Structures are given as C-alpha cells and as structure tokens.
Amino acid sequence: MEALVEEVKKMIALKSTTDIGDIIIMIIEKPQTLVYGVVTDIERDENKKGEWWHVSLTLLAMPPQKTTITLRTTQFTGGEIFTMGGEKRFIAAVDLSGPPLVGFPEESPAAKAKKKRPVLRVVK
C-alpha cells in the first residue's frame, strides 16, 4: 500500500490540507481501488477526545455515493495511511492549482510534428 501511495503522489499533486469543496482521492487496499470524491462537510466529533472529525464526502462513482467517515486530521489530509474495517486506506485533497500530472515524459518534437499533419491532402 505504501508503494502505491508513493506512486500516486508522483503522478498527482496533493494538498497538505483538506477543506469543504476540495476534490479528494481515496486509495483502498483491497481490492486496489482509487476513488475520487468531494468534501461536502467537516464537523468536529464532540464525543471523542483529540482531533476527530466527521468528514462528509460524495464519492464520484456511478451512482455518486454520500458517506460520512470519522477521522483524525492526519488521516483525511494525507498525513498517514490508516485502517478501516481491517483494510488500509489513504485520503488526500488534490491540488488543482498545480500541474495536473507529474512524472509523465514530455512528447518528443518529432512525435508532436507527426501529429500536426493534416488528415486530408490535395492530390494533383
């Protein structure tokens, strides 16, 4: 799971904080699944000592699924991999202000030039 999280961090810019309205990425260990969601609410859990929060999410699946998870701050801000129901999970907010993808090679100039050729040609 740790290797998968590190690989995702190389490809997607992640934020160190999570706020209402943020797009999050959730990685689930078994089966290895990557799910996007939107944070719809964050409320303090008054029944537990420490920094526990009720994090409400709409998972961007088909159909969209609403869920609320009780987590510590480090668990929903990408600070740690945690366990739910015996399965490891990782949640972090996606940084949409940064580069969309990191770690993919740029196209060579020859490949770009090849793509720019017109589809139709004039034949005399």
For the chain, the first-to-last Cα distance in angstroms comes to 61
Quick check: is 50 in a domain? yes
Q: Whole-angstrom Cα distance, residue 11 to residue 8?
A: 5
37 occurs within a structural domain? yes
- Which residues touch 121 (CB under 8 Å, ≥6 apart)? none
Domain for residue 123, yes or no? no
Domain with 57, as residue range(s), is 2-115
Amino acid at 54: H
Residue 71 in domain: yes
Q: pLDDT tens across 95-106, in order?
A: 988 655 545 555
58-108 per-position pLDDT tens digit: 999 889 999 999 999 999 999 999 999 889 999 999 998 865 554 555 555
Please count the structural domains in the chain.
1
> pLDDT tens-digit profile of 31-40?
888 999 999 9
